[in-house]
Amino acid sequence: MKELDIAFSPCPNDTFIFHAMLNGLVDTRGLKFRPYIDDVEALNEKAEAGAFHITKMSFAAYLKFSNNYELLDSGSALGYGCGPLLVARSSKINIASAKIAVPGRYTTAYLLLKLWHPGAIDIEFTRFDNIMEGVQSGKYDAGLIIHEGRFVYENYNLKKIIDLGEWWEKETKMPIPLGCIAIRKDDETIAFKQDVEAVIRYSINYAFHNRNASMEYIKSHAQELEDNVIESHIELYVNEFSLSLGIKGIEAIRVLRDMAKRSKII
């Protein structure tokens, strides 16, 4: 049995996707997976060194480190109405002078912020789960929130400055590519690419048809434990693009790459 390590985030969309394949609930095609769970920016940083056989990473990181990894057709987070939000205590804020908390240098959220407003230069990188409290306390003037944050930021008395997903959709008419699953390019690993894609697809289909099976596993890792937040998170980030990127998903990734290159961001 071939063993492969697989790294992903503790967010509900990832734990929902990978639960079945990690717990013997679907055919794994003779593969055994060793899970490693960490914040997506930590995974982005480890991808630079090719640390894992299979890893979740932001699409921005994938575009930067694609010499190490090849994109998998299944497991990605793309969609509509699911982009990062820039929030602040007041809706009136000078972006050019604001101190902005960002969930990582290699996140797609930061790439989108730079595409939308290149003048945003006072940036502090911090874990995504530090941002809302940091903005609320006044440590930061604004914060770029991802994951479950879009569902709960109002609980921190924060105001939305811009939905960068909406901005992206208006600019491109495309779904927004947020996160992907990629496999290391070394010969020993890449040989299993099609099998891994199939197993992830089996795992997603199982999750869709057995919605409650993974809930305990999801809650053991989630930042926000309310059922409605978890369900909203999964519904937003796990969709047909997660099963297969398809023509539209691949085109959206190309558009993101081309915009980033034109702006000399990557």
Annotated catalytic sites, by residue? 147
H/E segment holding residue 87: strand 85-88
Dist CA 66 CA 48 (whole Å): 9
R_g of the chain, CA atoms, integer Å: 18
Phi and psi at 3, nearest 5°, equal -105, 130
- What residues have CB less than 8 Å from 44, skipping those under 6 apart? 57, 58, 60, 61, 65, 104, 105, 106, 107
**Per-residue tokens: 116:** 């939308």
Dist CA 55 CA 217 (whole Å): 19
The answer to whether 213 and 83 are in contact (CB under 8 A) is no
